Homo-oligomer: A and B are copies of this chain.
Amino acid sequence: MKTTPDALAALIGQRVDLIDTPALVVDLDAMDRNIQRMADFARKHQVRWRPHAKMHKSAELALLLQQAGAQGVCVQKVSEAEALAAGGVLDITITNEVIAMPKLHRAARLATALASRGGRLGVAVDSAEGIERLAEAMAQSGSDAGMDVLVEIDVGQGRCGVPPGEAAVALALAVARHPRLRFAGLQAYHGRAQHFASAGERREAIARTVQQAAHTRDLIEAAGLPVPLVTGSGTGTLVNEAASGVYGELQAGSFLFMDADYARNERDPAQPAFEHALFVKTQVISVRDTHAVCDAGHKSHAIDSGLPTVAHLPADRALRYANGGDEHGILYAEGDKARLPALGRMLWLVPGHCDPTVNLHDFMIGVRGGLAQGVVERIIRVDARGALS
């Protein structure tokens, strides 16, 4: 396991301006407020929350969320589950299909280890062959620990999952036939809908999603098998699934940090006012007549959901960030009174998409007291960085 490098450990207690650039910085006060908002929201709607750790990939943050009431974590990969389990997380759902036998053997071992510590492992399936492989791995593990199995239905994402309806019934019944597999419910996530720009579009899309999930649940129960849970949702649509009466668990993860992409979309009035808590600190390294250049490019932040915005500037002094390649950003003066920043100036970027941005960094630097005058409180390890398998 990686330890914190000396250069980062030495930062603890230091003022924000001593953080070298580019660096991934968490505004801990803003993050704590986001956690409180989410906890309040889930309590009000009487729904469980299991934040997706594919976003933060940190055992420390997973445990912090659990202290605030979260059920456990979701992950996408077996290796993410292993990394978080090593950091003390005991309740893990892999919201994705696992097909390779070596990975399934690892999952079976992990299920056994978690069960022995009072935890559990869940995994999604969307094929009969996937169920057979999983059952074989569990049988070969020789353990009595069971595995929770969610049947994934495609409720609009157009990726994995079987169509809602009869295909899902057949899979649920197939799961239930295996002694070491527990049918745990339906995985029903509409990922694309998270990013629809208007709140109305999102509401309509999730109305269909909810209807499909409810219909599939009813068919499975009519076949004699209880459906303990329908799980899914994300930060963009959680108000809709929470109010549905069908979803028992929310998997939203991005609320913790938020990103520029979510901020660009219309907020549903019912959605908690989550705020940006994740920033890339960058420095101006070159100034020209027409533009300035900073030291953060797309090796510092992901650009799949758009470019970062420059934070904490009044509108009339706004700067626009343009892509300068892997290691550079180009800054243009945009506000009426905006001037190009001086050589050496420190700036704060809000990444376009938090998940793949965090995955570029080994550590996040947690700041208490705000980004202007705060101090470094802790270094948060990205335990599952690069955990792909």
A contact set with B: CB distance below 8 Å: 2, 20-23, 54, 76-77, 96-100, 102-103, 126-127, 129-130, 154, 158-161, 191, 283-288, 291, 293, 295-296, 298-300, 302-304, 323-328, 330, 343-344, 355-356, 359-362, 385-386, 388-389
- Tell me the minimal C-beta distance from A233 to chain B in angstroms: 16
**Given known contacts A54-B327, A77-B327, A159-B324, what 19 new A-B pairs fall within 8 Å (CB)?**
A2-B2, A76-B327, A97-B285, A98-B285, A99-B283, A99-B284, A99-B285, A100-B344, A130-B343, A159-B286, A159-B293, A159-B325, A160-B286, A298-B302, A299-B355, A303-B304, A304-B326, A362-B386, A385-B386
Residue of B nearest to A101 (CB): B344
Tell me, rounded to whole Å, the shortest Cβ–Cβ distance linking A17 to chain B. 11
Q: Report the bound CA distance from A293 to B126 in whole Å.
A: 11
Closest chain B CB from A18 CB (angstroms):
8
The residue from B96, B154, B360, B362 contacting A327, defined by CB atoms under 8 A apart: B96
Residue of B nearest to A363 (CB): B386
Most buried by B among A21, A54, A127, A327: A327
- Docked CA distance A18–B195 (Å): 38
Q: What are 16 inter-chain pairs, A to B, with CB distance below 8 A? A: A21-B100, A23-B389, A97-B293, A98-B285, A99-B283, A127-B286, A129-B344, A159-B293, A160-B285, A191-B325, A298-B302, A299-B356, A300-B388, A326-B356, A360-B386, A385-B386
**Least distance between A2 CB and chain B CB atoms (Å):** 7
Number of this chain's copies in the complex: 2
A385 to nearest B CB, angstroms? 8
Tell me, rounded to whole Å, the shortest Cβ–Cβ distance linking A162 to chain B.
Answer: 8
Q: Whole-angstrom distance between the alpha carbons of A295 and B389 in the complex?
A: 8
The A interface is mostly helix, strand or loop, or mixed, namely loop
**Min CB gap A263→B, angstroms:** 19
Asked whether A361 and B386 contact (CB < 8 A) given A76-B327, A159-B324, A326-B356, the answer is: yes
* Residues of B with C-beta under 8 A to A356: 298-299, 326
Q: Which residues of B contact A130 (CB under 8 A)?
A: 343
| Distance (whole angstroms) from the CB of A5 to the closest CB of chain B | 10
Complex formed: what's the CA distance from A68 to B221 in Å?
A: 68
Q: Chain B's nearest CB lies how many Å from the CB of A22?
A: 5
CA distance A361 to B79 in the complex (A): 14
The residue on B at minimum CB distance from A76 is B327
Given the known A-B contacts A304-B298, A388-B299, are A286 and B100 also in contact in the complex, defined by CB atoms under 8 Å? no
Q: Judge whether A160 and B327 touch: CB under 8 Å.
A: no
B54 touches A160 (CB 8 A): no
Chain B: minimal CB distance from A337 (Å): 24
The answer to whether A389 and B99 touch (CB under 8 A), given A2-B2, A191-B325, A328-B160, is: no
User: Are the CB atoms of A330 and B285 closer together than 8 Å?
Assistant: no
Question: Complex Cα distance A355/B291, Å?
Answer: 25
A21 interface neighbour in B127, B355, B389, Cβ under 8 Å: B389
